[in-house]
Amino acid sequence: MYCRGCQKRVKAAREVVDRFVDEGKVVYGITTGFGKFSDVVISKEEAKKLQRNLIVSHACGVGEELSEEVVRAIMLLRANALSKGYSGIRLETLENSCRNVK
């Protein structure tokens, strides 16, 4: 679904994120809270929970449901953006997202 260069960039970005967490480096949104909580340092043990809570907090919608075709297009656009290698997403997560578009 995406190029080998994309795989390398995604893996490299994830390695950076993992290194920041392992080293306890203070990095906004990775080892800190967000917004007014940006000065709150998140421990390595709490980092996974922070990321999950971020996803859950954004997992809602209002209004009428979108068609399957529109949802698949949005997912494809998101996968394209994530494949650039700037987000720190795990390759497995991106691959799973791509499988769901098919």
Report residue 83 as tokens: 């494949």
What pLDDT is attached to residue 2?
A: 63
pTM reported for the whole predicted model = 0.80
pLDDT profile of the chain (102 residues), mean per 10:
82 95 91 92 86 84 91 94 94 91 80
CATH code for the part of the protein at 4-52+65-101: 1.10.275.10
Distance of CA 101 to the CA centre of its chain: 17
Burial class (CB in 10 A: 0-12, 13-18, 19+), 36: exposed
Check 8, 24, 25, 28 and give the catalytic one. 28
Separation of alpha carbons 5 and 55, rounded Å:
27
28 in catalytic set? yes
The residue ranges of every structural domain in the chain are 4-52+65-101
Are residues 74 and 64 in contact, defined by beta-carbon separation less than 8 angstroms?
A: no
Q: What is the reported pLDDT for 1?
A: 53
